């Protein structure tokens, strides 16, 4: 079910009441929450097209049982692996431990790979074969439906086994408690990705009722609903969907407006879900990790991924990047950076669009790392040799993207490559720190790189992305915005949303929350009623699924 619906209200009220009525009975309280979480997952969002059937909950149960057993076996073999006296048991124990770890990795990532990437892999092989002239291959297509939340709960469940293998976590004795960790409904289907060592201790200790936590939770839920419905769904229905569905029929100005609108929309949609998830968890007495920290205020792409979907980038950093560097050595750190960031991008979807999206962010992250560690005080001869080579390489890469993938004419491809190369040159030329104007320049350049990459994130397919890019690199500003496309209310929402995002975070999370908490009960109740009424009018009875449900 979707958060901004009457169905969820009918679900959450008895869930909260039953949970706190069982406050003195920890096992019954945990089982009640476990039952509610499975019910929440099986109810599914009422969207079109319909999500995976309810019986796909079996995959969730499979991942839960798999990692519970693998975690226990890995821990049981830990002492034998580290035995320095009886060397004869070390080798077999190490092999068995690796087998159990392999079972967890293959079981979790195998399911994710099959449901999410199998069809794209087969299609990619056929496309590449056709491109190199091997022949016209018709790939086999698996008739699969992506299970709701599989990208989130596989990473979450897998972190349990990985942390036990690293000696950072003791295995959970109670299966029901581990199952609750995996299926905890506020963040089950769209994050944040919670690691076992973050939530399991809270589940063992049990929650404590707090009026302050209830107030903080209500505030987060209110903020999340406003983001989702007003800055997410409303803008999508009345603006971005229209333009992204047929970009070839819109002017350059309209395409740019759609890009900025979608950049705001996806932040409001995803961070709105996170706000609601954290708020519901607070009302249940649990703390979930933050997932967003004003990402569009970032000074470079590295900082952006430290502020956007923080739990995903942190997960891949700790479980992929650091092990890669440890295995390959510091000399291959750039390779590890590219692999990690490429997988961050591909985690979001299985299509050629996301291959381009992933490479844009991976390449920008590699450049950002180099720009931070390079020696800036170099001779002019070195700079005159390095910079032309670097800019030609960056420009050539995007010219190749424009010609080979986007099917642009030479003029458009050269425009694309030239603009991107100029942006990279400007980023490298600017001092890393300095005046406020310097900071504004870094933030603006990083923000617009993200905005450009949204074309490939949002477009339905590669052809749609081509039309969009074509409209940008062959600009026509002779026609502005057609009447009625951007209403005054939509324009006001766009301006407010972007300005809101660039304000200091404490204005909302500290000062506005304090005002919220000090309001008298009757006034707060009246404001809530008006707020809900406004949301119902905006949704017109048709709430949209959160964007990250598809991942």
User: Is the four-CA dihedral 372, 339, 392, 301 of positive or negative sign?
Assistant: negative
Please, where are the H alpha helices in 246-400? 252-283, 301-307, 310-316, 322-328, 333-347, 352-373, 380-400
Pairwise CA distance, residues 374 & 205, whole Å: 48
The answer to whether residues 522 and 260 touch, using CB atoms and an 8 Å cutoff, is no
Per the omega criterion (within 30 degrees of 0), is the bond before 192 cis? yes
Pairwise CA distance, residues 228 & 96, whole Å: 47
Close Cβ partners of 382 (under 8 Å, ≥ 6 residues apart): none
Pairwise CA distance, residues 514 & 96, whole Å: 54
**Secondary structure (DSSP) of 403-431:** IIIS---HHHHHHHHHHHHHHHHHHHHS-
Q: Which of 253, 236, 233 is nearest to 245 (CA)?
A: 236
Tokens of 545: 């699924």
Q: Which of 178, 188, 393, 213 is nearest to 286 (CA)?
A: 213
Per the omega criterion (within 30 degrees of 0), is the bond before 272 cis? no
Catalytic residue among 348, 442, 470, 501: 348
**219-241 as b/e: b if 16+ CB within 10 A:** bbbbbbbbbbbbbbbbbbbbbbb
The answer to whether residues 448 and 389 touch, using CB atoms and an 8 Å cutoff, is no
Q: Which of 154, 147, 174 is nearest to 66 (CA)?
A: 154
Per the omega criterion (within 30 degrees of 0), is the bond before 49 cis? yes
How far does the chain reach from its first CA to its final CA, in angstroms? 16
Pairwise CA distance, residues 388 & 536, whole Å: 56
Per the annotation, the verdict on 348 as an active-site residue is yes
Percentage helix, strand, coil for the chain under 3-state DSSP, each rounded to 5: 75, 0, 25
The answer to whether residues 292 and 278 touch, using CB atoms and an 8 Å cutoff, is no
User: Is the four-CA dihedral 294, 300, 301, 302 of positive or negative sign?
Assistant: negative
4 burial via Cβ count (<10 Å: 0-12, 13-18, 19+): buried
Tell me the catalytic residues.
348
């Amino acid at each position: 079910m979707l958060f901004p619906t009457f169905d969820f209200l009918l679900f959450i009220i008895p869930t909260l009441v039953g949970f706190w009525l069982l406050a003195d009975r920890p096992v019954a309280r945990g089982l009640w929450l476990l039952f509610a979480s499975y019910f929440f997952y099986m109810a599914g969002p009422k969207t079109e097209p319909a999500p995976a059937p309810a019986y796909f909950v079996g995959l969730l149960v499979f991942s839960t049982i798999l990692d519970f057993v693998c975690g226990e076996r890995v821990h049981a073999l830990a002492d034998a692996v580290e035995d320095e006296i009886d060397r004869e048991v070390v080798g077999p124990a190490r092999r068995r431990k690796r087998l159990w770890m392999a079972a967890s990795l293959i079981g979790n990532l195998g399911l994710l790979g099959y449901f999410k990437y199998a069809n794209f892999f087969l299609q990619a092989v056929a496309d590449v074969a056709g491109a190199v002239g091997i022949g016209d291959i018709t790939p086999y297509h698996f008739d699969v439906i992506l299970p709701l939340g599989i990208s989130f709960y596989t990473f979450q469940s897998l972190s349990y086994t990985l942390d036990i293998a690293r000696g950072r976590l003791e295995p959970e004795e109670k299966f029901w408690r581990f199952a609750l960790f995996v299926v905890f409904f506020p963040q089950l289907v769209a994050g944040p990705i919670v690691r076992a060592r973050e939530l399991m201790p809270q589940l063992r200790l049990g929650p404590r009722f707090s009026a302050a936590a209830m107030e903080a939770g209500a505030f987060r839920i209110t903020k999340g609903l406003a983001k989702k419905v007003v800055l997410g769904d409303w803008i999508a229905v009345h603006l971005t969907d229209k333009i992204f569905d047929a970009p070839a029929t819109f002017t350059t100005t309209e395409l740019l407006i759609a890009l900025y609108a979608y950049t705001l929309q996806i932040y409001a949609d995803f961070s709105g879900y996170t706000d609601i998830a954290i708020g519901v968890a607070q009302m249940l007495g649990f703390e979930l990790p933050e997932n967003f920290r004003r990402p569009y205020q970032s000074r470079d792409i590295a900082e952006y991924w430290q502020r956007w979907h923080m739990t995903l980038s942190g997960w891949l950093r700790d479980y992929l990047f650091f092990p890669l560097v440890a295995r390959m050595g510091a000399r291959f750190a750039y390779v590890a950076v590219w692999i990690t960031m490429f997988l961050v991008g591909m985690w979001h979807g299985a299509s050629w669009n996301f291959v381009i999206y992933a490479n844009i962010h991976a390449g920008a992250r590699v450049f950002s790392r180099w720009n931070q560690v390079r020696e800036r005080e170099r001779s002019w001869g070195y700079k005159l040799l390095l910079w032309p080579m670097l800019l030609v390489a960056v420009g050539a890469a995007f010219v190749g993207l424009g010609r080979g993938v986007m099917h642009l004419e030479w003029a458009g491809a050269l425009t694309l490559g030239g603009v991107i190369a100029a942006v990279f040159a400007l980023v490298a030329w600017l001092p890393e720190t300095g005046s406020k104007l310097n900071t504004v320049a870094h933030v603006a350049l990083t923000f617009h790189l993200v905005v450009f990459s949204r074309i490939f994130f949002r477009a339905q397919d590669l052809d749609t992305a081509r039309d969009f890019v074509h409209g940008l690199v062959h600009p026509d500003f002779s026609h502005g915005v057609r009447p009625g496309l951007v209403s005054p209310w939509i324009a006001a929402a766009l301006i407010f949303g972007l300005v809101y995002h660039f304000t200091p975070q404490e204005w909302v999370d500290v000062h506005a929350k304090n005002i919220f908490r000090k309001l008298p009960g009757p006034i707060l109740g009246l404001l809530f009623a008006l707020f809900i009424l406004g949301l119902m009018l905006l949704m017109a009875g048709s709430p949209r699924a959160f964007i990250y449900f598809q991942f």
